[in-house]
Amino acid sequence: MTILLVEDNYSIIKGLVYALNEQNYNVIYKTNIKDTILFLDNNIVDLIILDIMLPDGDGFYLYKNIIKNKNIPTIFLTAQYDEETIVNSLNIGAEDYIVKPFRTKELIARINKILLRNKQSNIIRVGNISFNIDKMLVYKNNDLIALTPLELKILYLLFTNVNKVVTRNMILDEIWNSTGNDVDDHTITVYLKRIREKLKTDLITTIKGIGYRIDNEK
C-alpha cells in the first residue's frame, strides 16, 4: 500500500519514511502544496499524512479543494493542540489527526486501523486503476472510465479474482447470462480488446488457451 506524506520538516520525513518502510508501506513524500497537487493529478495513493502548516499554504485548503474530492483517507499532523483546530480537522472530513510531537508507533497504529477499515470497503486498487465494487465504477488516476454494463461485469470477474486466472468459460457464462445470446471465443476476444482499449493499460494478462488474469504486482 502507498502512503503520501506531505510534510516540510525533513527530520519528521526521514523518521516516518524509515518507520513506515519497516511496516512494508511504500512512502512518497512531498514538501509543499504545489508538488502534492501535481502528484495527485497522476497517481493514486491509499492514505495521506498531511501537515497543516506548509510553506505555500495550509493543509486545510489542500484537503478541502483537492484531496476530499478524491476520497483519500487523510490524517492531519498539527502542532496546534487546540480544540478548534482538532474539531475543524474532523469536521471537514479527515479520518484522524495527531499532534506534534507524536509517537511514531501511535501514528502507525492509527494508519493500520484506517487502512484495514478501508480495505473492507470494497474498493479494489491495482496500479492506477481502482474498482468500486459497491457502486460498480472504475477509475484510472481518479478519472471515471466509461464502460458498458457487460464490460463492467467482465472486469468485475477479473478484479474480484486478482492473482487468479479467470477462465474463458467463466467469461462466456457471464456474457451468456447477460445477453442470452450464443457466444464463442471470438466474442470474448472482442470484449477484452474493448476493455483494454478503455483502460489504456497492460493490466490484463492473457493466459494462452486458459483465460485472463490481473496481478496486483504488475
Q: How far apart are the C-alpha atoms of 113 and 56, rounded to whole Å?
A: 31
**pLDDT of 17:** 96
**pLDDT of 213:** 95
> What would the mean pLDDT of 106-111 be, rounded to a whole number?
93
Dump pLDDT digits (tens) for 52-94. 999 999 898 999 888 887 778 999 998 876 667 667 767 777 7
Q: How far apart are the C-alpha atoms of 213 and 200, rounded to whole Å?
A: 16
- Say if residue 85 is in the same domain as residue 6: yes
- Say if residue 19 is in the same domain as residue 112: yes
- Say if residue 142 is in the same domain as residue 55: no
Residue that finishes a domain, picked among 101, 119, 137: 119
The C-alpha cell at 142 is 481518479
pTM over 0.85: no
- Say if residue 99 is in the same domain as residue 40: yes
- Say if residue 108 is in the same domain as residue 188: no
Distances (CA, A) of 165 to 171, 175, 199, 201: 11, 17, 19, 18
> What would the mean pLDDT of 30-35 be, rounded to a whole number?
97
**pLDDT of 218:** 47
- Say if residue 148 is in the same domain as residue 67: no
214 pLDDT exceeds 90?
yes
Q: How far apart are the C-alpha atoms of 113 and 24, rounded to whole Å?
A: 15
Distances (CA, A) of 181 to 80, 148, 173, 188: 64, 17, 11, 13
Residue that finishes a domain, picked among 81, 102, 119: 119
79: containing domain: 2-119
**pLDDT of 145:** 94
- Say if residue 11 is in the same domain as residue 103: yes
- Say if residue 112 is in the same domain as residue 132: no
DSSP 83: H
- Say if residue 112 is in the same domain as residue 140: no
User: How many separate domains does the chain show?
Assistant: 2
179 pLDDT exceeds 80?
no
**pLDDT of 26:** 92
- Say if residue 59 is in the same domain as residue 152: no
148 pLDDT exceeds 90?
yes
**pLDDT of 81:** 65
> What would the mean pLDDT of 158-178 be, rounded to a whole number?
86
Average pLDDT, the chain: 87
